[in-house]
Amino acid sequence: MFPFSKLSDPKTSFPVVVGLGWLTATIPALIIVNLLQMVLPPEAFQAVEDALISGEMPFWVDAVSIVLFAPLVETLIMGLVFWLSRLVGLGVRGQVIVQVIFWAAAHGAFAFAWAFGPAWIFFVLAIIWVGQREASSGKAFWAVFLVHALNNGLATAAIAAERFAG
C-alpha cells in the first residue's frame, strides 16, 4: 500500500525514499500533535519544548543538537535495537513494533504528550529501515537519518519562528 510499498522497496531511489519518507513521517505526526493540543493542557507541550531547548546555550547550539546530533545518535541506537531484535529471533513485524514502543517510551519519558508524534515517526523510520537494509545497511542508515533530521529541522524551524518572531 502506497506510500509504504515505496518506502519498503529496496529498489526505490534514495531521494524518493528520503522525500516520501519525510512527508509520510511528518504530515501525520503534525496532525497527531495538533489533535492532541486540542485535548491536552498546554503544559504538556511546553514540557516538550523545554526538553528540546535548554535556554542555557545559544539557540543555534540546541538547533544543531536537535537537527543533526539527535538523529545521528538515535539512528545508531535504532540499528542496535534492530540487531538485538533480530538476534532474539523477531520477525520484521516484531522488529517494527519493538522500535515503535522503544522510541515512544524514550520520547514520552520527557513529556507524556511527546510519545505520540514520535511513535508515528519511528513507525515510518522502521519501515524505511527494514525495506532499505535489503539494498544496503548504508542506504537504510542514511535514509533514516535524513528523514529524521528533516523532521527535526521542521520542528526546530517552528520553534525558532515562534521564539524570534518580531
- Rounded-to-integer distance, Cα 22 and Cα 148, Å: 8
Is the model's pLDDT at 14 over the cut of 80? yes
- Asked if 142 contacts 36 with a C-beta cutoff of 8 angstroms, the reply is no
Q: Tell me how far apart the 2 most distant CA atoms of the chain are, in Å.
A: 55
- pLDDT classification of 111: cutoffs 50, 70, 90: confident
Percentage helix, strand, coil for the chain under 3-state DSSP, each rounded to 5: 80, 0, 20
Higher-confidence position of 58 and 122: 122
Q: Given this model, what pLDDT does residue 166 score?
A: 61
Q: Given this model, what pLDDT does residue 110 score?
A: 80
Is the model's pLDDT at 81 over the cut of 90? yes
Give the N- to C-terminal CA distance of the chain in Å, as an integer: 44
Is the model's pLDDT at 105 over the cut of 90? yes
Is the model's pLDDT at 45 over the cut of 90? no
- pLDDT classification of 57: cutoffs 50, 70, 90: confident
Q: Percent of the chain, pLDDT > 70?
A: 99
The residue-averaged pLDDT of 114-129 equals: 96
- Rounded-to-integer distance, Cα 13 and Cα 40, Å: 40
Other Cβ atoms within 10 Å of 39 Cβ, number: 8
Buried b (16+ CB within 10 A) or exposed e, 88-121: eeeeeeebbebbbebbbeebeeebebbbbbbbbb
Report residue 129 as a C-alpha cell. Answer: 529501515
Q: If you average pLDDT over every residue of the chain, what do you get?
A: 93
Sorted by where each begins, the domain ranges of the chain are 13-38+59-160
Is the model's pLDDT at 90 over the cut of 80? yes
Other Cβ atoms within 10 Å of 83 Cβ, number: 10
Is the peptide bond prior to 3 cis by the omega test (within 30 degrees of 0)?
yes
The residue-averaged pLDDT of 54-66 equals: 88
- pLDDT classification of 11: cutoffs 50, 70, 90: very high
The residue-averaged pLDDT of 90-105 equals: 97
Question: Helix crossing, 137-164 with 70-87: angle to 10°?
Answer: 140
